[in-house]
Structure 1
Amino acid sequence: MNFSELFVLIIEPSRVQRTIIVNHLKSFGIDNIDEFSDGRSALSAIQLQTPDIVLSSMHLPDMTGTEVVKEMRGDPNLCNITFLLISSETHYRYLEPIRQSGAIAILPKPFTRKELGISLQSTLHYLIDLDTPDEDKTEAFENLKILLVDDSLVSRKYLHQILDNLGIHDITEAVDGAQALNILKQQTFDLIISDYNMPNIDGREMVEYIRTHGEQATIPIMMVTSEQNKSQLAAIQSAGVSALCAKPLSYDMMKKMIEQLVFNNEF
């Protein structure tokens, strides 16, 4: 599979911006493109013909990009479609749900061709792995045991899908750090993938406990978070996290981090 086989759906109210996006896509050899100026028409079209990736602006005439991806993630037929937000929006209230929903990327306006290319490449790799039978995937991935910790069901579903796509099927989920620590008393894992902001026991507190009191004190822990506060991020680093990744996390980056943390011991 290559770029020319991708089917891209664009939701952008500005004709000028749509033209810019289309020209960038065509420069990668992508010609199968549907264009919409509002969210509702786009969602109706997606039900009839499933795109490989949806590129959406944040502010649409009838809804927001956040509402578009929320409806997609809530529909079993659309929940696994990759979603890319292209927006100049910086407000936490709009962007946080996008980060939690498992967008493949958030690109600013204006964005560069290189930035778009990285996101498209990640989508391509996701689709290739999706069509690859388990027996042809990395055998080491198949044997991994992962503990996935996140209080957001939407985020857990997205991360679970990525792991499943990689050929990792032994996945245990926890809704917060407290539940994760209880599970760790009973089971061993090869890797923990966790959010930071969670009720009861957050990601930093969980990491600190594992490193100082846990029976698996050296287990690699990857923190995937939308936290923007620099002092909070520094505290997470000092707690002993193995890798700190920002949401949204692309498919390629997730695969690369798992390979580094588990197989190369780079933490």
Structure 2
Amino acid sequence: MTQLSPDELSILIVEPSEIQRRIIIKHLQQEGIISIQSAANITEAKGLIERHKPDLIASAMYFEDGTAKEFLDYLHALPECKDIQFMLVSSEYRREQLEVFRQSGVVAILPKPFNAEHLGKALNATIDFLSHDELDLSHFDVKSLRVLVVDDSRMARNVIKRTIANLGIEHITEAEDGAQAIELMRDQLFDLVITDYNMPSVDGLALTQYIRNESQQSHIPILMVSSEANEAHLSNVSQAGVNALCDKPFEPKLVKQILYQLLEE
């Protein structure tokens, strides 16, 4: 196991307000973070990243030269930046404005103002994403586990793949939606399905119903990863046969605990 500590993290703060930058820096220093850089806009941040790639970017939502979403898209397009974690720090509360960040695989969405607990969870999630902590299972060789990851967001699939790969899982198959997952399951056997809830064509609920009622793999564990807060929807997927639910953005430590429970039952 390779485990980092907070004082080993390198963090870039991208925030247009000098006062807010100072507040965030103070919070990070209280958490033991030593390596901290800051930028007032996206252009300045890009220049800093070219010289030194941080482990984590803590970004505001809006800047004079763009938005956090545009900045995140820029980072995702660069192979050399694929391991940089991204945390949104914003006073935005509207679900429709935040949903795109949940689907993009950010490590955390922190409110303004945030507290020590919010920040601590985000830093721990960053460390878990960057660390390797193999699952120790009694009934499976983790390296032989066959996992099907189903999500219409490529970025979300990448986050899930990276998370479970850090747990030692090597055999990962991707599907862009429930319809493609069903086709794959007709020809291949899997030990675990990790699926999104909201997808076009065949969503997570319909996929779960197919697995439980029509497939030859009806007893396979299903973990649903979703930002869906509608209690009626979540009740429906539970009744359909989902074994566990996990929020977006999710915490790798929690995912490890859930997978351990599902695969050791």
Q: Distance in 2 between the 1:47 and 1:238 partners?
A: 49
Per-residue deviation, 1:50: 0.7
Which residue in the other structure is 1:88 paired with? 91
RMSD, aligned α-carbons: 1.7
Q: Secondary structure, in 3 states, of the residue corresponding to 1:103?
A: coil
Q: Distance in 1 between the 2:53 and 2:166 partners?
A: 18
Per-residue deviation, 1:228: 2.9
Kept in 1, the 8 Å contact 2:16–2:40? The answer is: yes
Which residue in the other structure is 1:37 paired with? 40
Which residue in the other structure is 1:256 paired with? 257
Decide whether aligned partners of structure 1 residues 92 and 67 sit closer, same or farther in structure 2, where only a CA change above 3 A counts: farther
- Paired amino acid for 1:228: A
- Paired amino acid for 1:160: K
Per-residue deviation, 1:89: 0.9
The number of residues matched between the two structures is: 259
Structure 1 residue 158 corresponds to structure 2 residue 159: yes
Q: Distance in 2 between the 1:195 and 1:57 partners?
A: 27
Kept in 2, the 8 Å contact 1:100–1:155? The answer is: yes
Kept in 2, the 8 Å contact 1:223–1:241? The answer is: yes
Structure 1 residue 20 corresponds to structure 2 residue 23: yes
**TM-score, with normalisation over the residues of structure 2?**
0.92
Which residue in the other structure is 1:191 paired with? 192
Q: Secondary structure, in 3 states, of the residue corresponding to 2:260?
A: helix
Kept in 2, the 8 Å contact 1:85–1:107? The answer is: yes
Q: Distance in 2 between the 1:43 and 1:237 partners?
A: 43
Q: Deviations over 1:26-80 (max 9, x none)?
A: 1121121001111221122112211011111112222111211121112111122
Per-residue deviation, 1:165: 2.1
Which residue in the other structure is 2:214 paired with? 213
Kept in 2, the 8 Å contact 1:208–1:239? The answer is: yes
**TM-score, with normalisation over the residues of structure 1?**
0.91
Per-residue deviation, 1:137: 6.9
Q: Distance in 2 between the 1:137 and 1:192 partners?
A: 17
Provide the identity percentage.
41
- Paired amino acid for 2:203: D
Kept in 1, the 8 Å contact 2:131–2:166? The answer is: no
Once the two structures are superposed, the pairs formed by residues 1-267 of structure 1 within 5 Å of their partners are 1-129=4-132, 138=136, 140-263=141-264, 265=265
Q: Distance in 1 between the 2:50 and 2:227 partners?
A: 30
- Paired amino acid for 2:212: R
Unpaired runs of 5+ residues, structure 1, are none
